[in-house]
Amino acid sequence: MPALVLLGAQWGDEGKGKATDLLGGSVDYVVRYQGGNNAGHTVVVGDQKYALHLLPSGILSPGCTPVIGNGVVVDPSVLLSELSGLNERGVDTSKLLISGNAHIITPYNVTVDKVTERFLGKRKIGTTGRGIGPTYADKINRVGIRVQDLYDESILTQKVEAALDVKNQMLTKLYNRRAIAVEQVVEELLGYADKLAPYVADTVLVLNEALEQDKVVLFEGGQGTLLDIDHGTYPFVTSSNPTAGGACTGAGVGPTKISRVIGILKAYTTRVGAGPFPTELFDEDGEALRRIGGERGVTTGRDRRCGWFDAVIARYATRVNGLTDFFLTKLDVLTGWEQIPVCVAYEIDGRRVEELPYSQTDFHHAKPVYEMLPGWNEDISKVKSFSDLPKNAQAYVKALEEMSGAPISAIGVGPGRTETIEINSFL
Ligand code: IMP
């Protein structure tokens, strides 16, 4: 049964867009199952660079049906401007399907995201400020607005009223902001209804029927394993489940349908926002990784924090996702270092620890234990087969594979669509 999950094995930004896009030509459906426009995929097609935030990267592959699943939170204004931006560049977006059960990021959710972050001060999460957390909070509090609500004005009004009831008290009394008018929100949301209507569908039914017909379905996670609300570095996480189980709940397919789970793994580590990061570098090596790797957020434009590869995290990702394969990205960025440190374990309060500690306190105290691997100087961006990589680059990949617990089935050696070494086919 060809249902694949593709997700970030670290803190996001591992280069998922490139991997999804590589498979996009041979898959029938590409599905996003969680997150919203906090994600950022960069896909390079020919000399064109596309930055996608909410849309599944399959939108760039003709023949592929892109799906926004029920687990996603949708900001309609962002979605419509992303669609028109693509249309202006000649990309056909008419096949897109959006779950009627997906929740809508309303303007007040964005406001609440920003004011609460400001209120947290030093303790802030460093969110993308796109309203993601507050929208999921409304979903769990059962005061969320769903895409289907746009098509019943009376219900929509009642739901917006319910959602703003407490929020307006909070905004005015606690945060000293103006109250948000129900009518204004309802009017704005209704303005999106007709524009979104052609895309709204029962995506659960569509996807399950597709799987019954043996179509290839690719579930594309946003963010990454360590940003997962349950399995990540809580509370410095996003508010959804990028890990593999999230594909089931966020798209409405049973776990028995998933045949392969591919973890995207950067050859080093990056993170945006606050929170612990044991291999983070504050020296010229970190600066060099940022510069050479172009490590600046696609969504927020923030510089990413950079550090060496962390095998403890990779092993953890294998475990919590049941990974069957890795796609190793950005190996080319490491070209030119004489020796490359790789974190093989942590030292926590004088103890050597091989696996990710479940205690937040321990993780905050974790210091990386490094093993040095020899580097290479040759340009590897044109290499097409594993055996043509410099010997030390081969050894680096093999070492990572051994430490991480799943086979590395593809390697990214440059940003372009074709700059990939395929070792095992994903399909
Ligand atoms: P939120 O998802 O905007 O609520 O932000 C929560 C945390 O997740 C922050 O540390 C963000 O920087 C991080 N985050 C959210 N989306 C991404 C992403 O696509 N890549 C990397 N980090 C992300």
Please report, as a single letter, which amino acid is at residue 409. Answer: S
Same domain, 223 and 193: no
How far, in Å, from the CA of 11 to the mean position of ligand 1?
8
Q: What is the mean pLDDT of residues 36-44?
A: 82
Cα(13) to ligand 1 centroid in Å equals: 10
Residues 67 and 163 in one domain: no
71 closest CA partner among 212, 234, 216, 238: 238
Does the pLDDT at position 129 exceed 70? yes
pTM of the entire predicted model: 0.95
The pLDDT of 373-378, averaged and rounded, is 98
The predicted structure's pLDDT at residue 410: 96
Mean pLDDT of the 300-319 span: 95
Residues 164 and 271 in one domain: no
Average pLDDT over residues 282-303: 91
Q: Are residues 246 and 322 in the same domain?
A: yes
% pLDDT > 70, the chain: 99
Residue-wise pLDDT for 94-117, tens only, equals 999 999 999 999 999 999 999 999
pLDDT tens profile 171-224: 999 999 999 999 999 999 999 999 999 999 999 999 999 999 999 999 999 999
Of the listed ranges 13-22, 75-84, 418-427, the one predicted with least confidence: 13-22
pLDDT in tens, 151-178: 999 999 999 999 999 999 999 999 999 9
Specify if 427 maps to a domain. no
Specify the ligand 1 atom closest to the Cα of 127. Answer: 5
Distance 1 CA to ligand 1 centre (A): 32
Mutate to test the pocket of ligand 1, among 128, 266, 305 (most ligand atoms within 8 A of CB): 128
pLDDT band at 45, cuts 50/70/90?
A: confident
- Whole-number Å distance, alpha carbon 270 to ligand 1 midpoint, is 12
Question: Which atom of ligand 1 is nearest to 222's Cα?
Answer: 19
- Cβ < 6 Å from ligand 1: which residues? 11-13, 38-40, 125-128, 130, 132-133, 222-223, 227, 236, 238-239, 272-273
Q: Which of 16, 54, 127, 305 to mutate to test the pocket of ligand 1 (most atoms within 8 A of CB)?
A: 127
Say what the pLDDT of residue 202 is: 98
pLDDT of residue 60: 86
Domain's final residue, options 147, 179, 198: 198
- Whether residues 53 and 175 fall in one domain: no
146 shares its domain with 281: no
Residue 29 lies in a domain: yes
Report the pLDDT averaged over residues 34-49. Answer: 83
Q: Which amino acid is at 67?
A: V
Determine, yes or no, domain membership for 230: yes
266/299 same-domain check: yes
Q: Is the pLDDT of residue 370 over 80?
A: yes
Mean pLDDT across the stretch 236-242? 97
Measured distance CA(90)–CA(18) in Å, rounded: 20
The protein residue with its alpha carbon nearest to ligand 1, atom 23, reads 223
Judgement on whether residues 282 and 384 belong to the same structural domain of the protein = yes
pLDDT of residue 92: 94
**Distance of CA 299 from the midpoint of ligand 1 (Å):** 9
Whole-number Å distance between alpha carbons of 279 and 417: 29
C-alpha distances in angstroms, 90 versus 61, 94, 97?
12, 12, 19
Of 49-58, 190-199, 346-355, 358-367, which gets the smallest average pLDDT?
A: 49-58
Res 24: pLDDT? 63
- Counting residues of the chain whose pLDDT is more than 90, the rounded percentage is 86
Q: Both 311 and 216 in a single domain? A: yes
Whether 298 shows a pLDDT value over 80: the answer reads no
| pLDDT tens, residue by residue, 322-341 | 999 999 999 999 999 999 99
172 in the same domain as 37: no
What pLDDT score does 1 carry? 61
The token pair at 200 is 């709204």
Which residue type does 76 have?
Answer: P
More confident residue, 57 or 125: 125
In a domain, 380, yes or no: yes
Chosen domain end from 159, 176, 198:
198
The whole-number pLDDT of residue 255 equals: 97
Q: Are residues 59 and 114 in the same domain?
A: no
In the chain, how many domains are there?
Answer: 2
- Residue owning the nearest CA to atom 15 of ligand 1: 38
Instruction: Examine the domain organization and report whether 207 and 169 are in the same domain.
Output: no
Report which ligand 1 atom has the smallest distance to the Cα of 13: 20
Pick the atom of ligand 1 nearest to 132's CA: 4
Q: Is residue 98 part of a domain?
A: no
Helices 182-196 and 76-88, axial angle in degrees (round to 10):
40
Q: Is the confidence at residue 302, as pLDDT, over 80?
A: yes
Q: Provide the pLDDT for residue 338.
A: 97
Q: Which residues are catalytic?
A: 13, 41
pLDDT at 40: 78
Res. 21 pLDDT band, cuts 50 70 90: low
**Domain range for residue 137?**
103-198
User: How confident is the prediction for the chain on average, in pLDDT?
Assistant: 95
